[in-house]
Structure 1
């Protein structure tokens, strides 16, 4: 029975919703759940995904979106800060694993071309699996987590030329002919467009469009570049990767990253389902002794090589096994490389199927190995492994809103060597402040995913400096719920808003006009001849009395006693009036002996 793409998509989503939560429930991991869902849909299951021509588009779309989001994370400053972990340690990991696996493969009597191909393909690790395992254990901020992430970034960059190289060495019948000059021209055109045009387009959409248009513009860019690269015979994934890199340095990056995160997970899940659907269960059942031996040899050898790399790059001894297990599986890119090699006759159909099974089984084994390591580490150290060696990698301060209030605060922090992460939703403000050296990102700070992309999980302080009451309350509520460790400092519009923020649990509140008015009052008193110390004392007493009154009124408001609240408000007004009358009578005594400028004589002419 022939089904169209939409029907396949519906079936895949249904399988995802049913199977993946069960896999997570039993601790098997998200990726293994996707693979199991694919197996259920494949020839060994319900056989609804047996027509590989129809599901090829979904698999390619998943890879393209994954490469785009990887490029989006490769900001130049981030890469430079991690340059040793990425380019030095990452290169060392790839070379050691590739050489070790290639040497072992050579002993099996394979050709030199296959030895090099298998060594490089199996040296890569799964970014999706490793990052998910680290997030589950809060390891992303540790030295080990940063070293693993650096290696994954280098692998993602290495995978691009590997994809191109396999396509050139073993081109398939449906691969477009590679054209060197047009390909170079296409790459230059994409870079120039990203350098001089994309920023203006994003700013224009931010100014005149709505939030969902950012997703549309990003997808338009991906598809356009992908089509351009395909026409000149270059990998579509390379086009998507370049598009992501072009947007990585944009001030709109955090908003795009947050908006595309659900799509990234969805399409990556579809990619793994298509891989699971293509697993040859008949081959597994027929060759399980051989596959079991190859799996043990591959995983064991890679873990041993990675442990040696961990020693070379000075990973702490208790963390070396974690480093090895996190990188010890095959990569999602290896599936793509195997498919290209099979289509180009570099691998036979049986060899390609065996390689796919080996990679899939290593991915399925990885979460189980990590659970075993967790149990062993807990028994050895009597505490969770991830409780040590935490290293903050982001700014300790996030400022939400960069108008006049936020700018003054940001300038004070910058002057003292603290570079805050700034979020604002006004594209004009972003463009203006970027000219003065500030790094301001476009994003709605009331959204959890935007705060997460801005580094809220690692930050210490969130300053809410926007000028809208509802927006302030939304940001505070969201941050309290998802990032309870943050110290919240909020701007209050008035006393009523201050009550609301206190009820939301904010203890550091600044009424935006109160201190400025009080300071101006002090200046007025000193200009009239009062001493600076006495003026400050009067202002301090006024502040203390004001906050005492606010505390009393808040208590009555919380008791929902409207009659007592109105009575207290009336009494406070009467007390204020009596205080003003008393200070008015005492004014001549207070100013006795102080020179006051005489009134100007009236002109009687």
Structure 2
């Protein structure tokens, strides 16, 4: 008993350890965490180190990660928002599934497969991996973009498609003695299950969570959140529908709940862990025996299915108004099979439509396509031209002039520009965000589109005749580049810069800019003054304290210019033991090296800002 228990513990540690090592390494290398998890699963699976001998059991359990993923997506999709995407879901999504399914079925028939086998093999491959695509979009920050929302819409339709496809498996079964008519009892059960979930979401869940939150026990709320997700998924599965779609529906119904953010926070750790386990289980399931025995068939199937599906996706994307770049990127993203293929192929094998070899070859084809997807996406991102900027209603600078040139009109530049405009100065403003420029126009601002790191743009914006160039961009590297261009090309203009943090401020001082200001310094001091007054100090006492902090900060900054990042620590009001004075060796007493010292100073980053 003890030996069995120890072996199970070894397996758990091996799975967790492989994921912990592989995912960050692959992500740092630019391949993404999905490929890392797949590689880790292959390494510890039956065809690697053999730590895990039954990947099917792990895969079945890890599918809960996909379920929780769709629940979290549902929490972000309010019914009104979902309704606004109806064209993308039922138009674009249906068109992509139908066209790609037809093309891949034709490919299967050309390869000599029986019609039923060719159709189900094609439709299984059409259902792209929701988990892989959402993870890739999420890591790249593309989920909330219009293109990302269209991708999510297609995935929702594909998840819905598994229901009628499983029904078709029963109809296509060679041993089926049915009449081919609709199973009205099954349909009624499915509709009833959906109705139960909708009713519970509208009238039961909010009062339930309100009651549980009154107990003020975090573990009870977490258990309730898991119960809702898994219970809804189980109900949908028992009624013949998709577990993932059940979880998504529960998420949508709770998207307007006051407990939405709490639910998301409770589910997130389980979602991330189980989703990583799912990808590892897919890697474990890669049957290298099948690959080696039928490598020609598998290779042709992977290449043929991925290329033909990509062509279908590209054509449909163009037909629905996507530009060429988005169409190619979507083709690279979706040109793979997904987790629902295993469900469909397993059902087909159970009723005799697929023989064992066909099932193994098609499952291996899907797994290999999932492994290749992160690589195709990386290639697409590197090879495709940059996304075209929509400049409709946006004007580029040309022959402008003004006393002050403001580069960057974000939250900092907007406030800073008010001081110039209040004194009647002639101000020219440029920014490289068309959406922000259009929004600013509604408030009476004329902003020109231009990248301040481009010397031609600075010339066109009137930097040559400006008395001051106010650099208000939020990216440190871009600010430094503009500083260099301004100092070299426009020496008569004062260079005023928004500093990102203390390390950046020291860089700017060493670059001899005319004025620099840390972006959060004055607002934080004003906040502190207001807090002290709230706590009972008189306005005079509060101001005196703030003036003392500002004086100490300036002294530290002067010391740091000559003695390094840790000079003047005794000027800080700390919460821990008094730090020992930091001294550098004589040969090291040089201007700050921000790249090295800023890392060491992360522990006091909040104070520095």
Query: Which category describes the TM-score, using the shorter chain as reference length?
Result: 0.5 to 0.7
Alignment of 1:84-233 (within 5 A): 84-162=87-165, 166=169, 184-229=191-236
- The reply to whether residue 266 of structure 1 matches residue 273 of structure 2 is yes
Q: Which residue of 2 aligns with 1:309?
A: 316
Match runs of 1:546-585 below 5 Å? 552=547, 554-556=549-551, 558=553
Q: Is the 8 A contact 2:174 2:353 kept in 1?
A: no
Aligned equivalents of 1:132 and 1:77: distance in 2? 24
Aligned partners of 1:41 and 1:49 also within 8 Å: yes
Question: CA separation in 2, counterparts of 1:85 and 1:555?
Answer: 55
Aligned-pair CA distance for 1:351: 1.3
Query: Counterpart in 2 of 1:68?
Result: 71
Taking the aligned partners of 1:162 and 1:251, their CA distance within structure 2 comes to 37
> Please, which of 367, 378, 381 is the counterpart of residue 371 of structure 1?
378
- Which residue in the other structure is 1:291 paired with? 298
Match runs of 1:431-446 below 5 Å: none
Match of 2:366 in 1: 359
Equivalent-residue separation in structure 2 for 1:5 and 1:166 (angstroms): 37
> Closer, same or farther in 2 for the Cα pair 1:502/1:271, shift >3 Å?
closer
Match for residue 38 of structure 1? 41
Deviation at 1:549, TM superposition (A): 7.2
Cα pair 2:46 2:284 within 8 Å, conserved: yes
The question of whether the paired residues in 2 share the 8 Å contact of 1:24 and 1:33 is answered with yes
Offset of residue 53 of structure 1: 6.4
Q: From 233, 241, 251, give the equivalent of 1:244.
A: 251
User: Aligned-pair distance for 1:151?
Assistant: 1.9
Change (3 A) 1:502 1:245: closer
Structure 2 unaligned runs (5+)? Answer: 176-184, 393-409, 412-441, 444-499, 502-518, 557-570, 572-609
Distance in 1 between residues matched to 2:542 and 2:389, nearest whole Å:
42
For residues 108 and 13 of structure 1, the distance between their equivalents in structure 2, rounded to whole angstroms, comes to 41
Superposition pairs of residues 388-403 of structure 1, within 5 angstroms? 388=389
Query: Partner of 1:46: helix, strand, or coil?
Result: coil
In 2, are the aligned partners of 1:5 and 1:55 still within 8 Å (CA)? no
Does 1:332 pair with 2:339?
A: yes
> Of 2, 9, 27, which residue of structure 2 is paired with 1:24?
27
Shift of 1:196: 0.9
- Bigger RCO of structures 1 and 2 (CA < 8 A, at least 6 apart): 1
Aligned to 1:255: 262
User: Is the 1:16–1:34 Cα contact (8 Å) retained in structure 2?
Assistant: yes
Q: What are the equivalent positions in structure 2 for 1:478-493 lying under 5 Å apart?
A: none
Contact between 2:27 and 2:36, CA under 8 Å: does it hold in 1?
Answer: yes
List runs of 5+ in structure 1 lacking aligned partners: 173-177, 398-416, 419-479, 482-500, 517-542, 565-605
The CA distance in 2 between the partners of 1:17 and 1:38, in whole Å, is: 12
Tell me how far 1:272 sits from its aligned partner: 2.0
Quote the Cα distance in structure 1 between the aligned partners of 2:327 and 2:77. Answer: 26
CA shift for structure 1 position 41: 2.5
> Does the residue aligned with 1:314 lie in a helix, a strand or coil?
coil
Go from structure 1 to structure 2 and tell me whether the alpha carbon gap of 1:37 and 1:218 turns closer, same or farther (over 3 Å shift). same
Q: Give TM-score, length-normalised by structure 2.
A: 0.59
Give the superposition deviation at 1:85: 2.5
Q: Deviations over 1:236-273 (max 9, x none)?
A: 44543443333233232233223322321211221222
Quick check: 1:125–1:329 contact (8 Å CA) kept in 2?
A: yes
**1:374–1:337 CA distance, 2 compared to 1 (3 A):** same
Shift of 1:281: 0.4
Distance across 2 between alignment mates of 1:45 and 1:504: 58
Q: Is the counterpart of residue 82 in structure 1 residue 85 in structure 2?
A: yes
1:13 aligns with 2:16: yes
Superposed CA RMSD: 4.2
CA contact (8 A) 1:143 1:389 kept: no
SS in 1 for 2:254: helix
Provide TM-score, normalisation by structure 1.
Answer: 0.60
Residues 66 and 268 of structure 1 are in contact (CA less than 8 Å); yes or no, is this contact kept in structure 2? yes
Matched residues in 2 for 1:292 and 1:513: separation? 67
What's 1:51 paired with?
Answer: 54
> What is the alpha-carbon distance in structure 1 between the residues aligned to residue 281 and residue 255 of structure 2?
29
Q: Which has the higher mean CA deviation after the structures are superposed, 547-556 or 274-283?
A: 547-556
Query: d(CA) in 1 for partners of 2:260 and 2:47?
Result: 42
